[in-house]
Structures are given as C-alpha cells and as structure tokens.
C-alpha cells in the first residue's frame, strides 16, 4: 500500500533523512525504530506532506504523493497522530474529533447549520471505540497527558483512514497506560481493517505489536524485516548496543 | 435551526431585550437613541472583526478598511449614480466583501505580523486615495448630505432600520460560528498544523472567513451612512481599526457577545466623559492599559469566567 | 503631460535632493523603530508620539533659550527628554509585559500613544507651533542653478552622521553588539548570564532617543501640531517593513524609497503626491513580502 523509495531530505547541510526505504502492505502493522535523531519523525513528516523531499519517491496505492500538501494527502486516506501533543486545547473532546469527521465528510465549509447536530453518531462511535465517550464534553486542554494522547489517535481516526501513522503514541505514558493504549490500537486496526505504521522507543511494545519492523539510523534504512530477523541482525545490535 | 445552541433562559432574555429596544425611541430622548444606534453600528463592526481575530486567530489589524469601503461604496452609489436605492444598499456590502477577497488573497500568503503589515499598507493606500481624490471621493472633506429614502430619515427611523439589520446580522454571525465552518476556523486558530493533517485546506477557510467578516463590516459601513448621512476618509484610517481591536479586547476576544459589550462600553464612556473633558483619549489610553494589565480576557470574558466558576462550585457542593 | 518640457533635468535632480533630505529624517525615526522592533520584538506604536514630543520639546527649548544656541541645544535636550520619558515608561510598565503576546504589546503601545497624545495637548495646548532655523541654516544655496534650502543640506549631512553613529553603536560597542545578538536569540544571550531585561531597556531608550531626535530635526521644516504622531507612525512602520524588520540598513533603504517616491510624486502629480510612497510600499511588499533586506526574525 505504501512504498517509500530512497527518500532524502536535508535541513541546510544536515541530512535528516538520507536514503530511507519502506514498504507497507495492506493490513500490516509496521514499526519504525531507531536511536534518537535517526529521522523517524522527519520520515513521517515527509510521508504526510508536512515536508517536501529533496529526492526520492513516496507511493501510496501506486500514486506518487511526494510533495503534496498535507490536506490533500489526508483526503487520500492517510491519517496521523503527532509525537508532540497536537490537539485543539480550547475545544471539547467531542469537538476535537468532530472537526476531523466534518472535514472527512467535506462539511467544513458549511455555514448555516449548527455543527452540534451534525455527524453526532459518527463522532460518538469513534469516541466510544477509544473509550472517551463519557468525557465527551470536557475541554481537551484540561485532560491528563495519557488521555490527550488517546484523543490524538481519536482525531486521526476521525478521518476514516485506510492508513494510520502514529508517531510515538505512548510517549510519556505509564506502563499500564502504554499496554492499554497499544492493545487499543491493535484492536482498532483489526476491527477497522486499517494498515498501521508507527514508531516507538519502547522496544518490547514494538516487538510484540508489529508484523514487520524497519530500522533507521542517521536517516538511512538499515533493515526491514520480521521481528526475529531484526533481532538477529548485527547492524541493529551495533546501532542500539554498540557505539554510544 | 437553533436546536441545542442556546439555553431557554438566554433566549428569553434576548427576546425581552429586543422588545425593550423596539420601544426605546418612544421613551428616551433622541440623543440617546442616536447613541444606541451608533453603538449598534460599532458593535456589528467589532463582531465582524472578532470573527477573524478572536475566533480565527488572524492578525487583522486594518479591518476598518472594509467598513470604509462599504460606507464609501454606498455613498458613491447614492450620490454619483441613479441606480435604485435598494440596489445601492445591497451592493455596498458586496463591494466590501470583494475588497476583502482581494486584500485577503494578497495577505493570506503570509502569516502573523507580515499579514498585518501588508493589510495595513494596502489599507493606507486606499485611505490615501480617498483622502486626496477630491473630484471623486470628496477628499479630506468626504461626502455630506447623502439623502436617504424617507423610510430611513430621521433618528427614529434610522434607529429601527439599524436595529433590525443588526439583529439579523448577529443571528447570521451566531449561526456561522456554530456551523462546521466556525468549528473549523477555531480549530485552525488553535492548531493550524493539525488541521492540515486532518484534511483541511486552512488558507482557504481563513480567506473565506476574511470575506465574510468584510461583508459584515461593509454592512456596518452602510448603517453608518444611514445614521450619519456622510462619509469621511477617517473611516479608512488605521486608528479606527485599532479602536475596533480595543473594543474586542475590552469585551473579550473569545466570547461571542464580548465585542458588543466592548463597543457599548467604549462609546458610552466616550460620550459621557467627552461631556466633561476634552481629554477622552487620555482616559481611553489609561483604561486600555489597565485592561491589558489586569483584565486581558475582557469584561465579558471575566464575567463568563466568574459565572462558570460559580456553577462549578455549586456542582461541587451538590456532590 | 510631457515631463521633460515642464521640468528640466536640474529641477528633477533638485527635487530628488529634497526628497533625499526628507528621507534622512524618516531614516532616523525608522531606524529607532526598527531597533526596538528587532530587539524587543515589539511594534512600538507610541514611536510617533515620541517624535511629536521631540518636536514640541524642541519648540520649548528654542523659545526659552532662543537664537542659534536654542536650536543646537534643542537637538540635544529634546531627544534626551524623550529618552528619559521612554526610560520611565519602560521600567515602570513595559518590562512587565514582555511575556505577553505581540498583539497585547502592540495594543499597550497604542494606549501609550493615546496617553502621550493627550499629555502633549495638556502641556502645549492645541495651537500650531513653529520653530525657525538658526541664521546659519536659513536661506538657500545654489545647486544645479536652483535654490536648495540650507536646512535640507544640513539634513543631508546629519542623516549619515546619525546613521554612522548608530552603526558604531551596534557593531562596535559592547552594549550594541549584545543588543544585536539579543534580537536574534534572546534566550542564548540570557543563558550567557547577561541581564536581558537591561539590554531591552537600553535598546528601547536608544530607539526612542532617535524618535525624539527626528522630531527635533523636523521642527524647523514644518508646523508642529497635534496629529503629527498619527501620520509619522504609519510611514515609519511601512518603511521598517519594506526594509526588513529589525534591519537598520533596511530602514535606510525604506526611507530612501519613501522619500524619493514622494518627491517624484510632487513633481508629476502634486495632488496625489502622498499616494506614490504608499503605492511603492504595496509593490515592494507584493514582490518581497518579508522586506527587501534580511529581517532579523
């Protein structure tokens, strides 16, 4: 479904992504791992259109999407959550997700009917599936960090994506929250037939959730393979254990 | 249409308020009727500004331009052409919206301070044109003695007209803010990046917001001409735009009714203080400074916060 | 309209010189504004009011001391007075607001403008005031066979001197260099143990001094009235923006564009002379929205 070919992107002289390759098949769960600064978030930003690549291609369902703006890429079926919290703090939980749903149904330019009454079912369904339905009317900014991260994911789901990208979905969460969240994510992926791409620092999570793993170091893809293949790979061991 | 958006109590209060406003010209002196009409005009202008600044997060620092364009448009149409009056009335706000579209298209490519500066420079250009073009716009004298249809002449008649248009516009603005567009605009204010990521072409929505705000500013301009019967280049000068910003600040940026309260406070103070002293500007400056230091959420914003806290305290006690 | 036959080359050249000399005053004021904008990141709407106070203060010094001495003294005392005022405003009020959003800071400087405007009315009254240049600068010299006011010549000399002095301050003095660094990265400067708050204060006071100087210099060339603040601040801001925010050379470029287009306007379409600079600003901003020279931000 998604293929990244030899992607390069630099900030001035610094090559944040220097030859990244990735293939994600329909329905798979793929994880990207790598030490800090390996370029994982930059890679995600390139895929979702927040950055333009210097060279290389990104193909989604056979179509070249490199360099398109984020809102166009979103409409093609890719949704993402962000590493640093990126919700709408002044709106309620319900409104947070509803904005995405409204966008998805192309209602965002509707002027004269109250948004309150629109697409309630769809929004509530999403809230229910992530377990936030009972907090729907609270202001998002007042939530705990963990709940806000779940809201992040819920907003992404509002776009009814085929392909979901999660950037460190459990960052800053306690171990219980982490397990619960990843369990939720895996369940949703199966239930809604999503294809999932995520990155994480918690290696256990990655190995237990992902079908395949891509390892990045200094902007390059070192290896793509099943968890076993990756575990045995020498370069990976070097990257994580050797060196610093 | 309104289902679920206003509480019954608020709706009742508004209806009562409206009835009172309708009978006012019969009970209070003409001067106060004129004052209230002026407040309504300014309030509408401030509300239109708040749409893009408070709810849209844009640095619309020269919103007065669209007000001026609307006012000059109707003045010029009424005095220089022989088009039927009602066409002039309808076209003027659209002229303002067109100005909003053009200026908006130019400004929207940039953000924040640069957005503001281009808007100010474009607006200043328009001001300079109006100020100097004696032949067409009357130069720094402006245009005076614009005749209004009989139904609108006189303080009482113009008051009723202004009141009706004001109420209609406020309802429209309310609906717009509660609509999906309104939600999207506010979301874009809070987090533009996230909006793009959920499929929203933010710049297009913001431009749309500017055009709508310009339209209503143009309506306010038309109402000004109905009330005063003249136009001056001052309407296009940047100090007016800053004054409307102050009204929004005074009332509260993020509330719906804030700008109305701000306009009411500012105009009432200006009139009452102006009677006693010629140093109104000094007092306004001091009030503004005090508000910035101590009440940045505005008067109405402050009241709303207090009410919310009280509601929460009551709920706590109830548990 | 055949320009060549209505105006000879010398007329045009002379008018350009007049425009150039007016640009010098605009440059001094805009440089001060740019300095404040660059270091403090605050658009100082009160800058125009300080300019106006500079002019009125110069009037007072001229009236009290009188004669040539009065004029030269006013060039020093008026800006100092304005600098003192700005110091008080900064320490007492401004410095508490640096953490707020730009819009609030801008509105606060607007409130200062309102207050200062009325204070001028209070102390100096509403009448039109005028100052005459000292004997040495009255009259005209012949340039290109046409009379060129001596005072404008004086401005042409003073402008570069002030510009040079400002350049020395920013590049050579310790304080100036710190200000420049602070405008680019204030956190770093703070981390180096330097009291950023004082840096802001100094930059603000110097900027306002320049506004006062501009006012004192302009005093003999036009009527000193209330309302001077409104027009000059608009022009100064536009100049700063087309030059590049916080860039002092940009202020020079912007001022030159503004002054010269205005004189060209006076030559070709006198009724619409003021439109020329505004039009030039719009054109520049459409092509270089961030200004012609690099902005500090």
pLDDT tens digits, residue range B211-261? 999 999 999 999 999 999 899 999 999 889 989 999 999 998 888 889 999
Nearest by CB to C230, from B239, B282, B288: name it. Answer: B239
Q: Is the Cβ pair A50, B201 closer than 8 Å?
A: no
Nearest CA in chain B to A107: B180
- Rounded Cα gap, residues B272 and B267, in angstroms: 9
A45 in contact with B, Cβ within 8 Å = no
Would you call B279 and C121 a contact, using CB atoms and an 8 Å cutoff? yes
ipTM, 2 dp: 0.84
For residue range C200-234, list pLDDT tens digits in order.
888 899 999 999 999 999 999 888 889 899 989 99
Q: Of C281, C243, C262, C290, whose CA–CA distance to C35 is shortest?
A: C243
Structure tokens at A125: 């369904």
Please work out, in degrees rounded to the nearest 5, the angle formed at the alpha carbon of residue B202 by the alpha carbons of B200 and B205: 100
What phi and psi, each to the nearest 5 degrees, are found at residue B231? Answer: -135, 150
Q: What percent of chain B has pLDDT over 70?
A: 98
The residue ranking higher by pLDDT, A57 or B101, is: B101
b/e per residue A43-57 (b: at least 16 CB within 10 A): bbbbbbbbbebeebe
pLDDT of residue B212: 95
For the cut 90, the answer to whether the pLDDT of residue B47 exceeds it is yes
Q: Residue C74: how many CB atoms within 10 A of its CB?
A: 28
Q: Cβ B117–C97 below 8 Å, yes or no?
A: no
User: Among B54, B76, B69, which residue's Cα sits nearest to residue B101?
Assistant: B69
Task: Give the residue from chain A lying closest to B207, CA to CA.
Answer: A109
pLDDT digits 0-9 by tens, C259-291: 999 998 888 888 888 889 999 998 998 888 788
Phi then psi dihedrals of residue B213, to 5 deg: -60, -40
Are B178 and A116 inside 8 Å of each other by CB?
Answer: yes
The answer to whether A140 touches A151, Cβ cutoff 8 Å, is yes
Residue A10 scores a pLDDT above 80? no
Q: How many C-beta neighbours within 10 Å does residue B231 have?
A: 27
Mean pLDDT of C126-147: 85
Render pLDDT for A225-239 as a digit per residue (tens, 0 to 9): 888 887 777 777 666
What are phi and psi for residue C264, nearest 5 degrees? -60, -40
Task: Give the Cβ contact number of residue B60 at 10 Å.
Answer: 31
Could B285 and C104 be called an inter-chain contact, meaning their C-beta atoms sit closer than 8 Å?
Answer: no
What residues contact B237, with CB distance under 8 A and at least 6 apart?
Answer: B64, B127, C230
Share of chain C above pLDDT 70, in %: 96
Measured from the Cβ of residue B86, the count of other Cβ atoms closer than 10 Å reads: 9
Among the partner residues B2, B180, B201, nearest to A110 by beta-carbon distance: B180
C100 touches chain B (CB under 8 A): yes
What global pTM score does this model have? 0.87
Mean pLDDT of chain A: 82
Chains that touch A (3 or more CB pairs under 8 A): B
pLDDT at B170: 93
Q: Is the pLDDT of residue A243 over 50?
A: no
Cβ pair B180:A108 closer than 8 A: yes
Give the integer Cα–Cα distance in Å for B147 and B225: 10
- Using beta carbons and an 8 Å cutoff, which residues of B are at the interface with C? 59, 106, 109-110, 112-114, 117-118, 120-122, 124-125, 128-129, 131-134, 237-239, 242, 245-246, 249, 278-279, 281-282, 284-286, 288-289, 292-293, 296
Yes or no, beta carbons of C115 and B237 under 8 Å apart: no
A160 dihedral zone (left: phi>0; alpha: psi -120 to 50; beta):
left
Does any CB of chain B come closer than 8 Å to the CB of residue A87? yes
| Mean local confidence (pLDDT), A39-47 | 85
Contact C281 B121 (CB under 8 A): yes
Q: What is the pLDDT of residue A134?
A: 81
DSSP 3-state of A109 = coil
Nearest CA distance, A156 vs chain B (angstrom): 7
> Do chain A and chain C touch with ≥3 beta carbon pairs under 8 Å?
no
pLDDT, tens digit, for every residue of C142-190?
887 888 888 999 999 999 999 999 888 888 777 777 777 776 776 777 7
**How large is the greatest C-alpha to C-alpha distance in chain B, in angstroms?**
72
Among the partner-chain residues C108, C279, C289, the one whose CB lies closest to the CB of B109 is: C289
Residue with tokens 């001409």: B225
d(CA B243, CA C107): 10
Cα–Cα distance, B283 to A170 (Å, whole number):
54
Point out the residue among B124, B242, B296 whose CB comes nearest to the CB of C278.
B124
Average pLDDT, integer, range B16-29:
85
pLDDT tens-digit readout, A103-120? 888 877 777 777 777 788
Cα dihedral C64, C67, C71, C72, rounded to 10, equals -110
Interface check for C93 against chain B (CB to CB < 8 A): the answer is yes
Q: Do A109 and B176 touch (CB under 8 A)?
A: no
Cβ atoms of B138 and B154 closer than 8 Å? no
By Cβ distance, the residue of B179, B180, B196 closest to A69 is B196
Is the Cβ pair A110, B205 closer than 8 Å? no
Q: Which residues in chain A are closer than 8 Å to B178, comparing Cβ atoms? A: 114-116
pLDDT single digits (tens) B265-274: 999 999 988 8
pLDDT surpassing 90 at residue A192: no
Pairing between strand A29-33 and A195-199?
parallel
Averaged confidence pLDDT in chain C: 87
Would the CB atoms of A100 and B176 count as touching at under 8 Å? no
Beta-bridge partner residues of A214: A32, A224
**Tens digit of each residue's pLDDT (9 = 90 or more) over B83-131:** 888 888 999 999 999 999 999 988 888 777 788 888 888 898 899 888 8
Say yes or no: A69 contacts chain B, CB-CB below 8 A. yes
What is the structure's pLDDT at C61? 92
Q: Which tens digits make up the pLDDT trace of B82-95? A: 888 888 899 999 99
Torsion, Cα A64 A67 A71 A76, to 10 degrees, reads 10
Residue C222's Cβ-count burial label (10 Å; 0-12, 13-18, 19+) is exposed
Strand partners for C142: C147
The answer to whether B181 contacts A108, with C-beta atoms less than 8 Å apart, is yes
Residue C252 is predicted with a pLDDT of: 94
CA proximity to C201, closest of C31, C36, C32, C34: C36
Minimal-distance CA residue of chain C relative to B58: C103
Chain B closest-CA separation from residue C34 CA (Å): 14
C112's enclosing H/E stretch is: helix C102-124
Minimum distance, in Å, between the CA of residue B196 and any CA atom of chain A:
5
Q: Rounded CA gap, C11 and C17, in Å? A: 10
Number of residues that make up chain C: 297
Q: For residue B242, list chain C residues with Cβ-Cβ distance below 8 A.
A: 45, 107, 110
CB-based contact, A156 to chain B, within 8 Å = yes
Q: What is the DSSP string of chain B?
A: --TTTS-HHHHHHHHHHHHHHHHHHHHS-HHHHHHHHHHHHHHHHHHHHHHHTTTT----TTTHHHHHHHHHHHHHHHHH----HHHHHHHHHHHHHHHHHHHHHHHTTS-HHHHHHHHHHHHHHHHHHHHH-HHHH-GGG-B------GGG-SHHHHHHHHHHHHHHHHHHHHHHHHSHHHHHHHHHHH-HHHHHHTT--HHHHHHHHHHHHHHHHHHHHHHHHHHHS-B-GGGGSHHHHHHHHHHHHHH-TTSSSHHHHHHHHHHHHHHHHHHH-S-HHHHHHHHHHHHHHH-TTHHHHHHHHHHHHHHHHHHHHH-
- What's the pLDDT tens digit per position in A132-185? 888 778 888 888 888 888 888 888 888 888 888 888 888 778 888 888 888 888
According to DSSP, the residues that pair with A150 across neighbouring strands are none
| Count of beta carbons in the 10 Å neighbourhood of residue C208 | 31
Q: Is B6 on the interface with A (CB under 8 A)?
A: no
Which residues in chain C touch residue B62, judged by CB atoms under 8 angstroms apart? none
**What is the residue whose two structure tokens read 């143990």?**
C193
Question: In angstroms, how far is CA A54 from the centroid of its own chain?
Answer: 22
What's the CA gap between A166 and A178, in Å, rounded? 14
Which of B123, B280, B289 is best to mutate for the C interface (most C CBs within 10 A)? B289
Distance CA(B286)–CA(C112), nearest Å, equals: 8
State the nearest Cα–Cα gap between A228 and chain B, in angstroms: 34
């Amino acid at each position: 479904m998604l293929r990244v070919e030899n992607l390069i992107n630099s900030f001035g002289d610094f090559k944040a992504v220097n030859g990244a390759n990735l293939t994600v098949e329909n329905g798979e769960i793929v994880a990207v791992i790598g030490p800090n600064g390996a370029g994982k978030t930059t890679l995600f930003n390139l895929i979702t259109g927040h950055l333009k690549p210097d060279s290389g291609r990104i193909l989604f369902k056979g179509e070249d999407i490199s360099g398109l703006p984020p809102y166009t890429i979103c409409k093609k079926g890719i949704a993402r959550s962000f590493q640093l919290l990126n919700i709408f703090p002044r709106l309620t939980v319900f409104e947070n997700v509803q904005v995405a749903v409204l966008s998805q149904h192309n209602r965002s330019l509707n002027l004269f009917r109250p948004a309150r009454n629109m697409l309630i079912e769809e929004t509530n369904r999403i809230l229910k599936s992530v377990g936030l339905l009972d907090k729907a009317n609270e202001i998002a900014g007042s939530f705990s960090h963990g709940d806000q991260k779940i809201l992040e994911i819920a907003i992404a789901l509002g776009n009814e994506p085929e392909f979901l990208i999660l950037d460190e979905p459990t960052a800053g969460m306690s171990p219980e929250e982490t397990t619960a969240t990843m369990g939720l994510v895996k369940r949703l992926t199966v239930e809604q037939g999503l294809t999932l791409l995520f990155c994480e620092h918690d290696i256990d999570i990655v190995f237990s959730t992902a079908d395949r793993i891509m390892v990045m170091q200094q902007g390059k893809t070192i290896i793509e393979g099943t968890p076993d293949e990756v575990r045995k790979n020498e370069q990976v061991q070097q990257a994580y254990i050797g060196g610093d | 249409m309104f289902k679920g958006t206003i509480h019954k109590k608020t709706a009742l209060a508004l209806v009562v308020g409206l009835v009172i406003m309708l009978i006012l010209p019969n009970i209070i002196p003409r001067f106060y009727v004129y004052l209230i009409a002026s407040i309504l005009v300014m309030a509408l202008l401030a509300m239109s500004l708040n749409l893009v600044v408070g709810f849209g997060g844009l640095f619309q620092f020269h919103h007065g331009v669209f007000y001026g364009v609307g006012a000059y448009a109707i003045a010029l149409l009424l005095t220089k052409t022989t088009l039927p009056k009602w066409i002039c009335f309808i076209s003027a706000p659209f002229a303002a919206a067109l100005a909003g579209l053009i200026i908006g298209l130019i400004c929207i490519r940039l953000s924040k301070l640069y957005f503001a500066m281009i808007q100010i420079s474009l607006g200043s250009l328009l001001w300079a044109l109006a100020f100097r073009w004696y032949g067409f716009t009357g130069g720094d004298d402006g245009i005076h003695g614009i005749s209004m249809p009989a139904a609108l002449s006189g303080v009482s008649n113009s008051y009723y007209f202004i009141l009706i248009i004001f109420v209609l516009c406020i309802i429209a603005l309310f609906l717009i803010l509660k609509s999906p567009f309104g939600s999207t605009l506010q979301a874009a204010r809070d987090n533009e990046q996230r909006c793009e990521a959920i499929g929203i072409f933010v710049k297009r929505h913001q431009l749309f917001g500017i055009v709508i705000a310009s339209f209503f500013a143009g309506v306010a301009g038309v109402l000004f001409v109905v009330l005063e019967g003249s136009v001056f280049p001052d309407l296009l000068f940047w100090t007016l735009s800053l004054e409307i910003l102050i009204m929004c600040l005074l009332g509260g940026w993020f509330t719906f009714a804030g700008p109305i309260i701000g306009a009411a406070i500012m105009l009432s103070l200006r009139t009452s203080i102006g009677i006693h002293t010629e140093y109104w500007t000094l007092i306004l400056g001091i009030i503004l400074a005090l508000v910035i230091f101590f009440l940045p959420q505005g008067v109405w914003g402050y009241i709303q916060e207090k009410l919310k806290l009280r509601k929460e305290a009551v709920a706590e006690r109830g548990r | 309209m055949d320009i060549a036959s209505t105006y000879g080359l010398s007329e045009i050249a002379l008018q350009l010189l007049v425009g150039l000399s007016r640009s010098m005053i605009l440059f001094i004021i805009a440089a001060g504004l740019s300095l404040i904008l660059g270091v403090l990141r605050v658009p100082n709407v009160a800058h125009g009011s300080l300019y106006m106070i500079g002019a009125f203060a110069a009037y007072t010094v001229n009236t009290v001391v009188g004669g040539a001495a009065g004029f030269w003294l006013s060039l020093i005392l008026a800006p100092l007075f304005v600098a003192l005022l700005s110091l008080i405003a900064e320490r007492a009020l401004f410095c508490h607001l640096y953490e707020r959003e730009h819009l609030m800071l801008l509105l606060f400087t607007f409130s200062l403008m309102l207050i200062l405007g009325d204070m001028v009315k209070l102390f100096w009254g509403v009448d039109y005031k005028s100052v005459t240049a000292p004997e040495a600068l009255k009259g005209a010299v012949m340039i290109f066979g046409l009379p060129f006011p001596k005072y404008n010549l004086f401005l042409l000399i003073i402008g570069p001197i002030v510009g040079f002095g400002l350049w020395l301050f920013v590049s050579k003095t310790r304080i100036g260099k710190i200000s420049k660094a602070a405008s680019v990265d204030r956190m770093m400067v703070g981390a180096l143990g330097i009291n950023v708050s004082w840096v802001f204060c100094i930059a603000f006071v110097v900027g306002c001094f320049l506004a006062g100087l501009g006012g004192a210099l302009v005093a003999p060339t036009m009527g000193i009235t209330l309302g001077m603040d409104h027009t000059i601040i608009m022009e100064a801001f536009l100049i700063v923006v087309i030059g590049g925010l916080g860039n002092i050379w940009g202020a020079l470029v912007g001022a030159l564009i503004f002054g010269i287009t205005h004189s060209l306007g006076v030559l070709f379409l006198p009724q619409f002379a003021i439109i020329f600079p505004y039009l030039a600003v719009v054109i520049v901003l459409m092509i270089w929205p961030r200004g012609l020279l690099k902005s500090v931000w």
